[in-house]
């Protein structure tokens, strides 16, 4: 069944699938201008504000109180459509669930307020269909595609008592973005929004995780514009952290990951755009390899 589910999601971007659940063909039942359907609830292109392909977040023009509650809308399956033909499908998963499906899923209630849904995927060597060419083309054709941020690792220097880590983020979006800036939040508050740097050995055993204590906002669900920096379309910005370590890390090859965070549920619909700039929500994960002599 697991293998079947994986194959089903992979082929969802390549051809129509007709069955009673995922990958269903809707050509005879929905309007061709429906982009997204969830448990029978249809959302047309005109209902969509934008899709951020860096975080796989679908933003809606209106607010839906059902997105932040356990409701019938956020149950069962969802699909992205092209004139009624399924591009790919996934499932709604309640936050209290003790298992994760094999393919794309949307956690419910939404962690991005009542106006946005994020499509997640635990890859586990699966093909990531969330930005497949067919969907990207349709979004582009309807001026809904926003490419958000990308990130790259500049360096990871490991000494006997410290790991120095530097990275760069780039704004590929047509819109200027407001991003969390560690130089404004300070490292402790910034690490409230991220687990920070992680190193794993060749067997995927964790050998290091962030040693920077986090500072919770007061109140916990608040945010301030003073934490954000404007990153104009096409521009990039570099950041750095120093992580203390209690004892030296053994020589060898390691995998590193770092989650660059944005805000989420804290930002209300009316605050998402600050003038012509958009607050970037979600997160991206930077990955690489580290060699310790």
pLDDT in tens, 163-179: 999 999 999 999 999 99
pLDDT in tens, 23-59: 567 777 889 999 999 887 999 999 999 999 999 999 9
Taking 3-state DSSP, the helix, strand and coil percentages for the chain, each rounded to the nearest 5, stand at: 15, 40, 45
Average pLDDT, the chain: 90
Closest to 129 in 3D by CA, of 56, 60, 67: 56
pTM, 2 dp: 0.90
Task: Please tell me the predicted confidence (pLDDT) of residue 13.
Answer: 61
Of 44-53, 62-71, 122-131, the range with the lowest mean pLDDT is 122-131
Say yes or no to pLDDT of 155 above 60: yes
* Architecture category of domain 148-292 in CATH: Sandwich (2.60)
Share of the chain above pLDDT 70, in %: 91
DSSP-derived letter for residue 39 is T
Task: Please tell me the predicted confidence (pLDDT) of residue 11.
Answer: 42
Going from N- to C-terminal start, the domains of the chain cover 2-145, 148-292
């Amino acid at each position: 069944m697991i293998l079947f589910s994986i194959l089903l999601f992979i082929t969802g971007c390549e051809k129509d699938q007709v069955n009673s659940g995922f990958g269903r063909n809707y050509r005879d039942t929905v309007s061709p201008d429906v982009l997204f359907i969830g448990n029978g609830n249809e959302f047309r292109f005109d209902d969509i504000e934008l899709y951020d392909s860096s975080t796989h977040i679908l933003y809606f023009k209106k607010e839906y109180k059902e997105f932040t509650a356990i409701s019938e809308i956020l149950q069962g399956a969802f699909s992205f459509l092209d004139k009624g033909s399924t591009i790919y499908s996934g499932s709604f998963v309640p936050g209290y669930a003790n298992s994760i499906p094999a393919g794309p899923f949307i956690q419910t209630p939404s962690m991005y307020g009542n106006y946005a849904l994020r499509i997640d995927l635990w890859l586990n060597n699966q093909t990531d269909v969330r930005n497949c060419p067919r969907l990207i083309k349709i979004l582009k054709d309807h001026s809904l595609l926003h490419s958000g941020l990308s990130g790259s690792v500049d360096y990871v220097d490991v000494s006997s008592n410290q790991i120095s880590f530097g990275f760069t983020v780039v704004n590929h979006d047509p819109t200027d973005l407001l991003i969390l800036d560690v130089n404004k939040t300070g490292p402790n508050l910034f690490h409230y929004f991220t687990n920070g740097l992680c190193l794993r050995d060749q067997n995927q055993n964790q050998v290091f995780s962030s040693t920077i204590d986090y500072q919770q906002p007061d109140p916990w669900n608040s945010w301030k514009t003073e934490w954000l920096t404007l990153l104009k379309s096409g521009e990039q910005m570099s950041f750095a952290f120093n992580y203390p370590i209690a004892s030296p890390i053994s020589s060898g090859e390691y995998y590193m990951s770092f989650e660059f965070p944005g805000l989420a549920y804290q930002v209300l619909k009316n605050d998402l755009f600050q003038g012509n700039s958009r607050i970037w929500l979600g997160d991206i994960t930077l990955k690489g390899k580290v060699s310790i002599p």
